[in-house]
A and B are shown apart, each in its own frame.
Chain A
């Protein structure tokens, strides 16, 4: 029986990462500006991926840790794991990935990631991996196209030049949660926003697990 310790994390080609993400990520979509793709292997087979890149709204995000250089942070913007991976693979894979990042990109001080509690989950994996929770937002940045059912971010809509139409769509129900992981622990002192207790998720009714709303 394989355990999470048997997984191997290593860089992979964007094409392979995108194929896997499209196939098994709940959104079925990739983030086009991902720069680093780390594959998760079990018994020599590619079974998961973590994709990193600049956040879609970098100017707005970078300020949550003051004094961050332009290249001093990165977003974990897609994470997709096959059902074949053993339990706890996600936190194990993230732990290995963060060591890889620290070693290869010492200038990156922190990682941001958003969990989508409108469609997927409230970030159980991030909490297990040592992220801090910095925001729970009922955002209208994600809206659903009433004709296709496609969920789109406001900035994606801007890039597609359909902002006007986007504003007529209904925002998705639920919350978005922002998590931060400090590769450089000292950067935590420069956090400009409060760290929220995880209990806040239930207090606000923002809980979601595997696409199902979680009761308080």
Chain B
């Protein structure tokens, strides 16, 4: 930590909105809906995050907050000023301020619990920026009840299936061997109605006898 260095956030001052200029090449977009969400949050909690401007009043971070302030008809907004930043630093921070926030994640379980508790406290959870659909998607289905399923009480029985994986080049050979086995005559006393199973068992009997 550079204790001696001054930071933009050290000094917050109110500025007239008319003295602040959006950065013309701001690549971050703000839909009307999102601006309305920011405006609602400012109405609920006030301004908690000042707008970052350069010494000429051009915005580096806080375009959405400015739009929300305008929507609310505010005359002034709290600002912090970046002093001594190069053009490259300013340009990069316009992106970094947004991208670094996006890079964070959520502990979905804790989020669900927190939102649930806010709902229980009759707080308007949409003020958090989460839509009803998103909240519904996070929450578990409380109306999930079902009947006890039927789990059959039965033994496996004498018939069983075995699965083999064959290369496509082997399939023809296997099929032709099965046909040859079937051609040797009917299957008697095998207690199996599956002709492929019988044919395979006959092949194996022969093979086992030879080995």
Contacts and interface: CB of A to CB of B under 8 A. Distances in A.
Interface string B171-188: 000000000000000000
Nearest to A74: B151
B153 A105 contact: yes
| Most chain A Cβ neighbours within 10 Å, of B140, B148, B149, B151 | B140
Interface in B147-163: 147-149, 151-157
Interface string A105-122: 111100000000000000
Contacts, number: 80
B151 A10 contact: no
B9 interface: no
Interface string A56-100: 000000000000011100100000001110000000000000001
A9 to B, nearest CB: 11
Given A82-B109, A83-B110, A83-B113, A12 B144 contact: yes
Interface string A18-33: 0110011000000000
B141 interface: yes
B142 interface: yes
A35 to B, nearest CB: 6
Contacts of A100: 148
A69 B154 CA distance: 8
Q: Mostly helix, strand, loop or mixed at chain B's interface?
A: loop
A44 interface: yes
A105 B148 CA distance: 10
Contacts of A39: 144-145
Interface size class of A (residues with CB under 8 A): 35 or more
A58 B27 CA distance: 56
Interface string B107-123: 01110110010000000
B120 to A, nearest CB: 9
Given A36-B149, A83-B110, 5 more contacts: A11-B145, A16-B140, A45-B116, A74-B151, A105-B153
Interface of A: 10-17, 19-20, 23-24, 35-37, 39, 41, 44-47, 69-71, 74, 82-84, 100, 104-108, 161
Interface of B: 108-110, 112-113, 116, 138, 140-142, 144-149, 151-157, 165
11 contacts: A11-B146, A11-B148, A16-B140, A17-B144, A23-B138, A35-B149, A45-B142, A69-B156, A70-B156, A70-B157, A83-B109
